[in-house]
Amino acid sequence: MFSKDTYIKRRKELKELVGSGVIIIFGNNESPCNFPNNGYAPFRQDSSFLYYFGQNRDGLVGVIDVDNDIETLIGDDIDIEDIVWYGSVDSVHDMAEQVGIQNTAPMKSLKTICNNAMSKKRKIHFLPPYRWDIKLQIFDLLGIHPNQQKEEASLTLIQAVVKMRSTKSAEEIEELERAAVIGYKMHTTAMRLTRPGLTEKYVAGQVDGIANSYGAMVSFPTIFTQHGEIMHGNPSMNILQEGRLALCDAGAETINNYCSDNTRTMPVSGKFTQRQLEIYSIVEACHDYTLEVAKPGVKYADVHFAVCRLMFDKLKELGLAKGDTEEAVRAGAHAMFLPHGLGHMMGMDVHDMENLDQINVGFDEEVRPNLEQFGTNCLRMGRRLQEGFVVTDEPGIYFIPALIDDWKAKGHCAEFLNFDKLETYKDFGGIRIEDDVLITKDGCRFIGKDRIPYHPKDVEEFMGKE
């Protein structure tokens, strides 16, 4: 947790931004794994609840009566049977005091609070729910069917939360730096372990263990695969093979629930082949180019397309692409190689605030998403950058056999792609390099004091160490 004053100030700003009504921010409940008393571990609190109320216990709800300036932490104290099994915990009253809240009430009182507000036709603000137990609770409290709750969620509250959580404070940046330290340990562990004969699952399991040992948990399920062309490839029991590339996309979450997110691609043998090096060097150049162009006031969509143009120019040099680069990118030909966006917001969630809908987080009234064009429709972040934003920089080049076949059969972007040459890359896989970027006053910088090796010689040298 941060200091009491941090949470008091956050709630004060939230009240000013929302203006009136009753704000209800639901914390998460314990989620059963395969039977009721075997919950997923560790428990993960809702990020917006953590941001404003700071407490990491299940079964809590924060209520802010904006008009009357009354803040209440809702929740039931645990009973003696729970104490026997899990140990003593702070009372709801104690937890409220720790974050500067004077009022507490049992969970059954939430229905009365909602009924009173509705009887007076006061606006009740809630965020879009993403867990079914919370959806059912909202149905019980407000009578809004789960299928309608996303549309009925308060846009005023969503916009206020996005405005506040998008810009990271100094103490939040410190937490992100701590997450980067754990992320460094995770990725360098993967590099040290990767060699022919081990399974993907074994390496990924060791990577996960680092996150669990030094922080709260992984920030998302670890991706470790020789099929780097699969965006979210789960680690399998496949054995690492000489001559293949292994892609590791992994991150840590600190005890205070701030995340890291990095990707590295490494040769299983410890040495890149010439063909691998040619593609890798393009991704490396695109990754580094982001540092030159990303700064306050620049649209991240423009950074994305600047990277796409650089990538396409270099792919033309290898004979994989052809034609006018501007026209090719405008037509979406680059998505054959990069079918996702350059990056996304990062913070307490690895895709920060994604539950609030990406159109509200990564876009605004000025910059709207293009949902029609393949690849471009996957941009998660397009709006103008501001000092204090944290975004990922994750260019990649992927050779997806099914996509190559599909576009070739349709003749899609045939004037910009050399399909005969692409056929010879169907066994290549994919390469991605990813780091977390803090937007500063005059430009940007990577988060993390120690850089996970990514320049080809550094990767080979690191993997060659005993």
CATH number at residue 28: 3.40.350.10
Domain region containing 459: 170-464
Short-list 295, 262, 272, CA closest to 396: 262
Tens place of pLDDT for every residue, the chain, 466 residues?
Answer: 999 999 999 999 999 999 999 999 999 999 999 998 888 889 999 999 999 999 999 999 999 999 999 999 999 998 888 888 788 889 999 999 999 999 999 999 999 999 999 999 999 999 999 999 999 999 999 999 999 999 999 999 999 999 999 999 999 999 999 999 999 999 999 999 999 999 999 999 999 999 999 999 999 999 999 999 999 999 999 999 999 999 999 999 999 999 999 999 999 999 999 999 999 999 999 999 999 999 999 999 999 999 999 999 999 999 999 999 999 999 999 999 999 999 999 999 999 999 999 999 999 999 999 999 999 999 999 999 999 999 999 999 999 999 999 999 999 999 999 999 999 999 999 999 999 999 999 999 999 999 999 999 999 999 998 6
Q: Is the dihedral of CA 149, 154, 160, 163 positive or negative?
A: positive
Query: Residue 445 to residues 294, 295, 388: CA-CA distances in angstroms?
Result: 9, 10, 11
User: Residue 101 in 3-state DSSP?
Assistant: coil
Q: Which residues pair with 439 in a beta bridge?
A: 444
Asked if residue 452 and residue 425 are part of one domain, the reply reads yes
Asked if residue 193 and residue 115 are part of one domain, the reply reads no
Asked if residue 230 and residue 123 are part of one domain, the reply reads no
Q: Is 266:460 a contact under the CB 8 Å cutoff? A: no
Asked if residue 331 and residue 272 are part of one domain, the reply reads yes
CATH number for the domain spanning 192: value is 3.90.230.10
Asked if residue 191 and residue 108 are part of one domain, the reply reads no
Asked if residue 161 and residue 181 are part of one domain, the reply reads no
Predicted TM-score of the model (pTM): 0.95
Asked if residue 280 and residue 230 are part of one domain, the reply reads yes
Asked if residue 204 and residue 189 are part of one domain, the reply reads yes
Asked if residue 420 and residue 407 are part of one domain, the reply reads yes
> Residue 359 gets which letter from DSSP?
H
The alpha-helical segments, DSSP class H, found in 194-324 are 200-214, 274-293, 300-317
Asked if residue 198 and residue 120 are part of one domain, the reply reads no
Short-list 347, 423, 344, CA closest to 380: 344
Domain boundary residue, one of 139, 166, 193 = 166
Domain boundary residue, one of 145, 166, 187 = 166
Asked if residue 208 and residue 151 are part of one domain, the reply reads no
Q: How many domains does the chain have?
A: 2
Asked if residue 160 and residue 211 are part of one domain, the reply reads no
Domain boundary residue, one of 105, 136, 166 = 166
